[in-house]
Structure 1
Amino acid sequence: MDFRDRTLVRLADPEQRDRLFDQRSLENLVAAGYETAAGVTGPYTADFAELRLGVRLDRPVTAEGGWSAPGGIRQEGRFTLTGLGGPTADALWRGSVTVRTGAGADRVDAVHGAPLGRAGGPELTVHYTPGAGTPRPVALPVLAALLVRESVRPADLLAESRALADALGALGAAAVPGTVPLAPRDRAQVGWLVPPAVFDDPDWPGGSTAAGPAEQRAARAAAAGRLLAAQGIALLVVPDAVAG
Structure 2
Amino acid sequence: MKGGANGAVEKGDGVEFEDKTLLAFTDPEARATVLSSDAVRAVVHAAYRIPMGTLGAQATPHFDSLEYGRFRAETRTEIQQSGYSIRFGEQDHDPSLAGRPDVDLLWRGAVTASTRRERAVVGVRTSPAVRITDLDSDLPDPPPADPQALDRARRAALLARLRAAAIDPDAMTEAVIDGWVRKMFADSLSQALARAHDHGVPLHQIALSFAPVPGSDVARARRFPVAAAVLIRDPTQAGFRLSDFLRASHTVLEQMQVQGVEPPEGDEDLPKGRPVVLWLVPEDWFDDEAWPAGENAAAPEAARLARITHATSWLAGQGIALAPVGR
TM-score norm. by structure 1 comes to 0.72
State yes or no: 1:166 paired with 2:166: no
What does residue 137 of structure 1 align with?
Answer: 221
* Bigger fraction of residues in strand: 1
Q: Is the 8 A contact 1:228 1:235 kept in 2?
A: yes
Separation of aligned partners in 1, 2:67 and 2:28: 12
One-letter amino acid of the counterpart of residue 241, structure 2: R
The alpha-carbon distance between structure 1 residues 205 and 94, as it changes in their structure 2 partners (threshold 3 A), is same
What does residue 17 of structure 2 align with?
Answer: 3
Q: Is the 8 A contact 1:35 1:184 kept in 2?
A: no
Q: Which moved more, 1:210-219 or 1:37-46?
A: 37-46
**Equivalent residue in structure 1 for 2:103, among 70, 89, 97:** 89
CA shift for structure 1 position 199? 0.4
**Equivalent residue in structure 2 for 1:177, among 246, 265, 276:** 265
RMSD: 3.1
State yes or no: 1:56 paired with 2:144: no
TM-score norm. by structure 2 comes to 0.55
Separation of aligned partners in 2, 1:182 and 1:94: 18
What does residue 244 of structure 2 align with?
Answer: 156
One-letter amino acid of the counterpart of residue 228, structure 2: A
Separation of aligned partners in 2, 1:154 and 1:180: 38
What does residue 225 of structure 1 align with?
Answer: 312
Q: Is the 8 A contact 2:117 2:269 kept in 1?
A: no
Q: Is the 8 A contact 1:140 1:180 kept in 2?
A: no
CA shift for structure 1 position 236? 0.4
The alpha-carbon distance between structure 1 residues 207 and 140, as it changes in their structure 2 partners (threshold 3 A), is same
CA shift for structure 1 position 51? 1.1
The alpha-carbon distance between structure 1 residues 208 and 39, as it changes in their structure 2 partners (threshold 3 A), is closer
Taking only the aligned residue pairs, the percentage that are identical comes to 34
Q: Is the 8 A contact 1:143 1:172 kept in 2?
A: no
Q: Which moved more, 1:53-62 or 1:222-231?
A: 53-62
What does residue 30 of structure 1 align with?
Answer: 44
What does residue 115 of structure 2 align with?
Answer: 101
CA shift for structure 1 position 55? 2.5
One-letter amino acid of the counterpart of residue 230, structure 2: L
What is the aligned length? 204
State yes or no: 1:17 paired with 2:31: yes
Separation of aligned partners in 2, 1:160 and 1:12: 25
Q: Is the 8 A contact 1:164 1:190 kept in 2?
A: yes
Unaligned 5+ runs, structure 1: 66-75, 106-130
Unaligned 5+ runs, structure 2: 1-10, 94-100, 120-213
CA shift for structure 1 position 191? 0.8
The alpha-carbon distance between structure 1 residues 179 and 161, as it changes in their structure 2 partners (threshold 3 A), is same
The alpha-carbon distance between structure 1 residues 178 and 77, as it changes in their structure 2 partners (threshold 3 A), is farther
CA shift for structure 1 position 163? 1.1
Q: Is the 8 A contact 2:227 2:261 kept in 1?
A: no
* Bigger fraction of residues in helix: 2
1:140-188 per-residue CA deviation (whole Å, 9 max, x = no partner) reads 1111111111216310100110111111113446533265533346x31
One-letter amino acid of the counterpart of residue 63, structure 1: I
Separation of aligned partners in 1, 2:48 and 2:84: 36
1:74-95 per-residue CA deviation (whole Å, 9 max, x = no partner) reads xx568799xx999420111000
Q: Is the 8 A contact 2:108 2:226 kept in 1?
A: yes
Separation of aligned partners in 1, 2:297 and 2:52: 30
SS for the counterpart of 1:175 is: coil
Separation of aligned partners in 2, 1:156 and 1:144: 19
Q: Which has the larger radius of gyration?
A: 2
One-letter amino acid of the counterpart of residue 188, structure 1: P
